[in-house]
Chain A
Amino acid sequence: MRGRAAALALALLATGLPVAAQTVSGCAFEDRNGNGVREADEPSVPGVPVELFGTRDASGAYDQTIATGADGAFSFSPGNGCYLLLPGDPPGWRFSGARSDSFPEGTAGYSFPVGRPRFAKLDGGIASLKAGLLRFSSMGDSIAWNWNSCFYTSSFWYSKQIQARLQCVAPAASVTLDQAAVKGEHTDDLLVDDADDLNNVFRVVEAQPRYVAISMIGNDLLGVDPSGTPTQDQINRAVAEVLDSRQNLQEAISALVSEIPGADVALNSLYDNLAYDCYSGSSSTFHRQWLPIVDRILRDLAWGQARRVSINEVAAEFAHEDQAGSCFGFDGMICRDLFQTDNIHPNNNGYTILREKLWEADGGVSLGSKDALSRTSIAADFGFLRRVRRLLPTAWETSGGAAVTDPEAALDDGDGGAATAIALGIGTEELRLSGFPDWYDEDRIVRAIAGVRYRTAGTVQDDFYRMEASVTGQFRPPAGHAYTPTDWNYYTPIVGGGGPGQPPENPDYSQARVLARPNVATYREVSATLTKNPTLPSGASDYEWPPVHQDDLSSAAVRVVSAPVAGTAGNDLYRVELDAAWIDLYGWEAPRPPEAADLRIERLPDGTIEASFEALPGAARYNLYVGSLSTLLAGQYDHGSAAPAGPFCAAPVVDAGDGRLKIALAPAAQPSADSYWLVTGHVDDVESPAGARSDGTEIDRSQSVCR
């Protein structure tokens, strides 16, 4: 039904006929693959509050909130005007993000200057406008500045356009713009504590804007991006900059999110037009291979913040270049001035696209004459991902001489704020937390977020600390490692930027005074999307990004580690106080099968023991666990990896008749002491419960090791 409505609207638009409906409609759905696009098998999410707030051309203010229906749909009929559309996150859910498919110019359905709509939302924007004040800070480099050598427009043109649109939404409010960006700067500059401009988190945090947009082109790569067929040394150097940029942006954005309560933050893709400039034939192996990775890094970086940050899929609107050699360039969007002093920045059409993408990322809706295409109906779908589980570490260890007090406190997120204190020095002091539960096999993980809640005591002077997560527990590659597109992602930065002198082989801003916000007086939550290396199946056009899997969790770790910069002994008398660390799993849950019922044990004359039980419908395999009776009588279980016999995973079963199956255990395989026995089965790779205690609570799932 919705598909037909969308097709009708598109047809009317294409033929230039007026659309009388003047509607803002869409749906909320469970985005089970996290791509922002609703697929046929993705369920609706009813009951999501959706607010449309703005000003009608004909009759002034408009502010309505409705809940999505049973089919997830919502629809407003406000008339032409300018609005912000805001679906609330249902409790326990998180907006999955704007659609992330590629529809470049020339693709069917693409209409300059808007392209495929990629709606995100400002979570606090409407509230700020209602309060009468929205201060908007435009940070970044030449892309935020709106620079090009074609000079069609004034500086900060598209930010001023967004400012004007926000003002249109709420004419009575004051909407101001900080023109903070500085051309030519790297991501490091966002972390430099200086007073020359507003293009750093220190000054922006002081200014406390309600909306911060960071737009960057990728100057970090400017001096190191190899052309032609690069050497491994060139690749390693460039990848070091990519990873440094990720760390810098994680630090900058997480500081903005945590230090400006309630403010909305948006990140314009750090796109690199050289990557997609394929008309000229200058596209290089490095750009083709690595720029899609950079784009994905940025999407993950935005999504994993403690408060989700909007990401604008600018590159997708400009072009698409894949790993199979296909290329849809966007040469027509680049400023080619007469004397060729540019050849790198968007022209006015390119910046118009940026304007539209930023507006869509705000949840901005213009109907009628105020819309770039004079549309009078807009459809915007919003996908959501549910947090299915928060995993806490169960183990800790120190290394490098780290002094730690109350280490168990960091393993407990319900201890009222009790913290593990870590005194870090100028060496390799480290506290590592691991042992994340890996047995919740019904969880279908789409994304995972690693987070910490911490503060510092004392003052950090010139030697800092870092927090990071790793899926494998190996936080850095071995020395001399050769980075490849499918082997580079060894850690996820959470806290602690690249810092002065990073990366060591190509330091940016080595003379800068401070490149981080190290002193944190009160508890601060910071998080980041936990990611793995991409894969590239043979012949595939695009990378695949495998989500974190249960199997990864047993090796995953979060660590707090010294990050000495100056190496000055004795003057950094501070402690990092870690209240908790966690991994949040977002996705959905497959149904768990019931217990294997009516277990009966029988010893045969030849000493064989048969365990028979009722077959589980749909079970593909069964497991037999054997534990020590003495352990059970002590109130514990030991049928897992420390079992007195077995465990017998995927044990051979035979038909016992009457819908029953049996597993036979020969004398040699049986335990030598009194024991308890359990049988489980797997349905769609989800293991059935091992049973319940007498009080009804489920038997320790960590013991079910046949995964």
Chain B
Amino acid sequence: MKIIAPIKHLIDYNVKVRVKADGSGVGLANVKMSMNPFDEIAVEEAIRLKEAGKADELVVVSIGVKQAQETLRTALAMGADRAILVVAADDVHQDIEPLAVAKILKAVIDAEAPGLVIAGKQAIDNDMNATGQMLAALLGWGQATYASEVAIEGEHAVVTREVDGGLQTIKVKLPAIVTADLRLNEPRYASLPNIMKAKKKPLDEKTAADFGVDVTPRLTVVKTAEPAARSAGEMVGSVDELVSKLKEKGIV
């Protein structure tokens, strides 16, 4: 079985985000970029399925600017077999919406015919939490989002999902879309020899136009603003002082 993992190249989660003064967006020029953390988890899961003999090939796909190939190389160094870069933007500030990403991924999947797609639950830049579900819809496949456990059992994936009340286990027909949540696994670091080897693994470059997908955004950004700031309050010296302040305020 072939697995496809879509991975997004975006601002590193440790970088402090700055809203541009003109309100046009968030400053991304010259900031550290990395693989979306949820996608590292997705790639790790796919590699583990390969190691367990449940899959035989892992293809990673990224859509965005040319520099996304760095993130694809990271996935290749972790253990992916080959990569597809779909160049759909020439400026990092131009985010490709989940609907357009899903359409491009559908085209890739139609050609590659994987048995399973593992995406991340959410991209930590746009916080959309949508692409996997949209892709499943376009393909007419089943979906198992927010996975904390994945087992392949014959023609099905049995997936435990993190939901509001706790955990839900479902069984979804393959091929299917799974999206990875935080507890699915702990991603490995790529070793130096594997980073070297990854440089020789195949990385195919395409464009959105090759797939005939229009990436024009459906949502026009009117403005981007800083959230209301919250200022620090006061330090209290003891538990008793804390409790009496809260009582004074009438909140306990």
A binds B: no
Binding site for A on B (CB under 8 A): none
